Amino acid sequence: MSLCFGDNMSAGNFGVLGGATFYNPTNTRWHAGVAYKMDLPLGLHLQPALMYNAVSKDMGRINVMGSVQWGINLILLRPFIDVSPFAGYGLDDKKWGWGTGIGGGLDIWRFQVAARYNWHFDQSRDLNAVTLTCSFFF
């Protein structure tokens, strides 16, 4: 049983995150939220998050994201690749949206830096964006 699930799995860590969202060269906004990182076997981590994304001056979205990461633990450092399906709700336009993000990042002690490209698979295609996110886990 410990071969499949590992005895060194921790219960997980809560964290806060924030960063920049680049929709196009003239529209850079911010995002912030909370996350929970769970260690899984074989270098996998599951990191669900609840985020607020500022889309424009007058529009914001609430997104729920389920990030699946795979990386190699190098003691204090863990580079990883990341796939992040998400669903969101526009607070102003009252529309649901969904998509996925693909990227990578680096864990350094309790800090995490990640970059990903997010594709929207609904009518919100103009919200495709590159995100740079910094997180701290307690």
Has residue 5 been placed in a domain? no
Domain-embedded: residue 133: no
Q: Using CB atoms within 10 A of its CB, is residue 38 exposed (0-12), middle (13-18) or buried (19+)?
A: middle
Domain-embedded: residue 36: yes
Is 122 domain-assigned? no
Residue 90 counted as domain residue: yes
Give dist(CA 61, CA 82) in Å, integer.
Answer: 22
At 75, list the tokens.
Answer: 């003691």
The count of structural domains within the chain is: 1
User: Is the residue at 19 inside a domain?
Assistant: yes
Structural domain of residue 56, as residue ranges? 12-116
What predicted TM-score, i.e. pTM, was given to this entire model? 0.85
Q: Tell me whether residue 125 is in a domain.
A: no
Print pLDDT tens along the chain (138 aa).
Answer: 333 444 445 678 999 999 999 988 888 999 999 999 999 999 999 999 999 999 888 889 999 999 999 999 998 899 999 999 999 999 988 989 999 999 999 999 999 999 999 999 987 667 899 999 999 999
